[in-house]
Chains A and B, each alone.
Chain A
Amino acid sequence: MKLPNSEEIVEDLAFFDDWEQRYQYIIDLGKSIPPMDENLKTDDRLVRGCQSSVWLVSHDQNGTLQFQVDSDAVIVNGLLALVMAAYNDRTPAQILDFDIDDYFKQLDLERHITPTRGNGLRAIVARIRAIAKAKK
């Protein structure tokens, strides 16, 4: 399936009124992320959370950054899909301008992006921003 963009996600998630539907949506998103080639899952691409691991691959394509992500946990994968909707196929300047905290707040998912959460999501965001900064 084609992954929704960030506006569609905000709209979709606003539609659900209970946690079960919301998280079912995130789980389904997580499952729809194409799995990363195992050969790409090297240690230098690994962002280790204490509970789950995330791999990040990036490349520059005509001035926009393309990311591929994968996690061993499906909910984290779903949350990564939300992050990808915001960052993928954007210019470094667009990435650096994007307010990810506000976005997660709009999604009512800010608890997942807090530094205390051991899922590696915050670390992925930091790494994506560092890549964008280096390209700018």
Chain B
Amino acid sequence: MTSPSGILNSEQIRAQFPILHQQIEGKPLVYLDNAATTQKPEAVIQAITDFYTQCNANVHRGAHHLSDEATRRFEKARDTVADFIHAGSRKEVIWTSGTTEGINIVASGMAQRLQSGDEVLVTEMEHHANLVTWQQACVRSGAILKIAPIHDNGALNTEAFASLLSQNTKFVALPHISNALGTINPVKELTALAREKGALVLIDGAQGVAHGNVNVTDIGCDFYAFSGHKLFGPTGIGVLWGKEKVLQDWPVWQTGGEMIAKVTYECSTWGELPNRLEAGTPNIAGAIGLGAAIDWFMSLDLSAVQAHEQALMASALEQAEAFEGLKIIGNAPNKIGVLSFNLQGSHPADVGFILDRQGIAIRTGDHCAQPLMRRLDVPGTARASFSVYNTLEEVDALFVALKKAQSMLA
């Protein structure tokens, strides 16, 4: 999918995404809401269709051919994920419904272990999924929630982060990449700082996985959670990765079938990883679809993917800076995928609406990060987010449409 020079062939990539080839309001769809969810290539749609048309059956328990084949594809997808994120073993890959469930598994388990006076550290740029979960774990356990501040440009204040760590810090949760601002956090360095104090570390990887190679072993964190649907896979499937030695005695999340070893009326014992954290019939088609999505993504030249996304970002930033009356919200030196902004004097919802009428899909609002919006003193932002199938022409179209929005709303 790359030319010899490592430049991504956008046309070849776009051809694999059926949804992109449509008109909205009589204009070609320009899909710039990739931080909310990415579109799905044919390979993913086909893998899901194949599962349902060839081997739909429940996994792990059928004494028949279909179940064997379903189990084979389902567990192969787990191997694909393990390879993709450089997990230590396949047992460390837990299927979830998405990032939110992954974080909840960790936070609810941690709430049983935290004690009054313990501290949990998160950042000012959290999505609610990585904030409300920890806030509630602290409420339940009597632990104290600490918030590491950001700089005005949306970069994490790493000095303040370091100074908030102490022997009382039992858990640190932070995003790999901010969904609202696109800031890339130095997760490896921050994890090392937290580990020095003996804290467990979770990285919210919802935005991190779709922009290149994630290596959980190299990061050194204890948990990494992400969603399939932001990685060209289906909705309703995600992954919680955790270090085997941490996960093996982690408090169980849901109880029921699949996750047990022995059951009597009085008590039950739990099964081995990964099953002990996967109660009930899993999202089989979803897991297979996610496996196909990762296979598809890994077939690209990931350095060319990153170069392409950086080129989109550079063009967007250049045009945004030259655009009179546009304020960029969050301009950390190290950012990817997201341009958050406001037009002076206009509410982001109005801007988003006028863009929609011109076929341009962006997100507006608080991006599930209300405290961050308060910190930045904005009611919300308009957010254009880019993916591998976007083109420089689409970035240009965004700014043409923005000019119209500005003149209509003036």
Question: Is there contact, CB below 8 Å, between B357 and A23?
Answer: yes
Q: How far is the CA of A74 from the CA of B343 in the complex (A)?
A: 13
Instruction: Please name the residue on chain B nearest to A74 by beta carbon.
Output: B350
Please name all residues of chain A whose beta carbon is closer than 8 Å to the beta carbon of B409 when the two chains form the complex.
Answer: 27, 74
A24 at the interface (CB under 8 A from B): yes
Residues facing B in A81-136 (CB within 8 A) are 118-119
A19-B25 in contact given A72-B379, A74-B347, A119-B349 (Cβ < 8 Å): yes
Residues of A within 8 A of B380 (CB): 51
Q: Which residues of A contact B379 (CB under 8 A)?
A: 52-53, 72
Indicate whether A73 reaches chain B with its CB closer than 8 angstroms. yes
User: Considering the complex, which residues of chain B in the window 371-393 have a beta carbon less than 8 Å from any beta carbon of chain A?
Assistant: 379-380
Please, what's the 1-or-0 string for B37-74, where 1 marks a CB less than 8 Å from any CB in chain A? Answer: 00000000000000000000000000000000000000
Q: What is the bound-complex CA distance between A76 and B409, given in angstroms? A: 12
Cα A19 to Cα B353 with chains together (Å): 12
Is A73 within 8 A of B347, CB to CB?
Answer: yes
Q: Which B-chain residue is minimally distant from A19 (CB atoms)?
A: B357
Does A1 sit within 8 A of B, measured CB to CB? Answer: no
> Please, which residues of chain B bring their CB within 8 A of the CB of A74?
346-347, 350, 409
Are the C-beta atoms of B25 and A27 separated by less than 8 Å? no
- Check: B306 CB closer than 8 A to any chain A CB: no
Contact indicator A20/B408 (Cβ below 8 Å): yes
Residue B352 CB within 8 A of the other chain: yes
**1/0 contact trace for B358-380 toward A, CB 8 Å?**
00000011100000000000011
Report which of B354, B357, B365 forms a contact with A118, defined as CB distance below 8 A. Answer: B365
Q: Is A75 an interface residue (CB 8 A)?
A: yes
Q: Are A23 and B354 in contact (CB under 8 A)?
A: yes
Residue from B353, B365, B404, B408 within 8 A of A50 (CB atoms): B365
Q: Which residues of B contact A119 (CB under 8 A)?
A: 349
Q: CB distance B25 to A51 under 8 Å?
A: no
**Residues from chain A with Cβ under 8 Å of B365 in the complex:** 50-51, 118
Is B347 touching A24 in the complex (CB atoms < 8 A)?
no
Within 8 A of A (CB), among B6-52: 25
Do B349 and A76 have beta carbons less than 8 Å apart?
yes
B349 near A75: Cβ-Cβ < 8 Å: yes
Task: Kindly list chain A residues whose C-beta atoms are within 8 Å of the C-beta of B350.
Answer: 27, 73-76
Q: Which residues of A contact B354 (CB under 8 A)?
A: 23, 75
Q: Which residues of A contact B346 (CB under 8 A)?
A: 74
Min Cβ gap B290→A in Å is 26
Query: What's the minimum C-beta distance from B371 to chain A, rounded to whole angstroms?
Result: 16
Measured between beta carbons, the chain A residues less than 8 angstroms from B347 are 52, 72-74
Convert A47-90 into 0s and 1s, putting 1 for each residue whose CB lies closer than 8 angstroms to a CB of B: 00011110000000000000000001111100000000000000
Which 9 pairs show the lowest CB-CB distances between chains A and B? Answer: A73-B347, A51-B349, A73-B349, A52-B349, A51-B365, A75-B350, A73-B350, A19-B357, A74-B350
**Chain B contacts to A: CB under 8 angstroms:** 25, 346-350, 352-354, 357, 364-366, 379-380, 404, 408-409
Instruction: Show the binding face of A for B, using Cβ within 8 Å.
Output: 19-20, 23-24, 27, 50-53, 72-76, 118-119
